[in-house]
Amino acid sequence: MNQTTQLAIQIKRESEEEKKKYDSERKLFIDNFILALKSQDEQIKNLVKLSKVLLENNKQVEKNNSVLKNKIRMSKYIDYQFVKSKQDFQQANERIQQSLSRQAQRYRQELDRGELTKIQLQQEITKLNKQIEQQNQDSLQKVKSQIQDLQEQINDSKQEQKEIISQSEKQKQFLEIQIQGFEKDKSFGRYKWNKRFFELNNGILAIYEKENGSCELKINIKEDGRSIKKKVEQKRKCCIEIRTSDSTLLFSLENMEEQTIWYRSFREARF
């Protein structure tokens, strides 16, 4: 083997070693690059999740801000109504005092002229005192009524805030209420059971007949603490009783006219 052949073999061997080294470094680079891509993909997924959480938090903040704004507006309105009620009471008081002063002045003038006897004067004074007492009672009753209205508005505002917060925390479940009523049995002259049921689904109160399942009436309502209970009487096929903290409504469902009255009363009722 001559020197040229040995040199060629050495060059080939070195070339193969360089190629192996290059292939090893290339494989290591590719593996690291793939790991980096996977890590970046995981970071992107985490960022997407974080953005969703931030979006939900922003929605909740907007709801809370809306509730706070409504509360501020209600507080301003209540302050205005209270000041107005106080002014009305003061004006009524002033009118009473002015009327009393005019009457007293007139009585003094009449006494000076000798036109009234002692008995007549006492009768007039008694009459005037009754008028003043009645005016005071009317004014006081008006102020009490206005204060009561303001208190109801405050309670309604608090209830509305509770509803908004409650609805943001959890989804309300559907409510099914079984109602039973009497229907006249002509053969025996008695009443037999005629079943109906009411289903509260997404704020819609639907009334159904059990025989054919057709919907007779649908009413938009809110789940705001109203209590709907069954109530059966001998002279009615079916009726329902709606109870709240300060009122009770009883409605019959014997015919379309009564259903219409119930529908109108339910919508116009103030709870």
- pLDDT for 233-265, tens place per residue? 334 444 555 544 455 555 555 556 655 665 555
pLDDT at 29 over 80: yes
Report, as an integer, the average pLDDT of 73-96. 83
What pLDDT is attached to residue 254?
Answer: 56
Query: Residue 252 has which token pair?
Result: 């019959």
Pick from 118-127, 157-166, 171-180: least confident:
171-180
pLDDT at 101 over 80: yes
CB environment 46-60: b (16+ within 10 A), e (fewer): eeeeeeeeeeeeeee
Q: Which of 179, 148, 159, 154 is nearest to 226 (CA)?
A: 159
What does the angle CA 245 – CA 85 – CA 82 come to, to the nearest 5 degrees? 65
pLDDT band at residue 154, thresholds of 50, 70 and 90?
A: low
pLDDT at 230 over 60: no
What pLDDT is attached to residue 233?
Answer: 36
Q: What's the pTM?
A: 0.24
The overall average pLDDT reported for the chain is 64
Q: Which of 178, 166, 163 is nearest to 221 (CA)?
A: 163
Report, as an integer, the average pLDDT of 101-117. 72
pLDDT at 94 over 60: yes
Q: When comparing pLDDT for 209 and 84, which is higher?
A: 84
Which residue stretches of the chain are H helix? Answer: 3-113, 118-169, 256-268
* Single-letter residue type at 8: A
Report, as an integer, the average pLDDT of 30-50. 84
Going from N- to C-terminal start, the domains of the chain cover 1-170, 175-268
Contacts of 182 (CB under 8 A, 6+ apart): 191, 192, 193, 194, 232, 233, 234, 236, 237, 238
pLDDT band at residue 203, thresholds of 50, 70 and 90?
A: very low
What pLDDT is attached to residue 201?
Answer: 40
Tally of residues, the chain: 271
Answer yes or no: are the C-beta atoms of 188 and 203 closer than 8 Å: no
pLDDT band at residue 207, thresholds of 50, 70 and 90?
A: very low
Count of beta carbons in the 10 Å neighbourhood of residue 181: 21
* Residue owning tokens 């917060």: 165
Q: Which of 166, 157, 154, 169 is nearest to 223 (CA)?
A: 166
Specify which of 93-107, 151-165, 204-218 reaches the highest per-range mean pLDDT: 93-107
pLDDT at 121 over 80: no
Query: Residue 1 has which token pair?
Result: 């083997």
Pick from 121-135, 154-168, 250-264: least confident:
154-168
Cα gap 222→200, rounded to integer Å: 10
Contacts of 101 (CB under 8 A, 6+ apart): none
Answer yes or no: are the C-beta atoms of 269 and 249 closer than 8 Å: yes
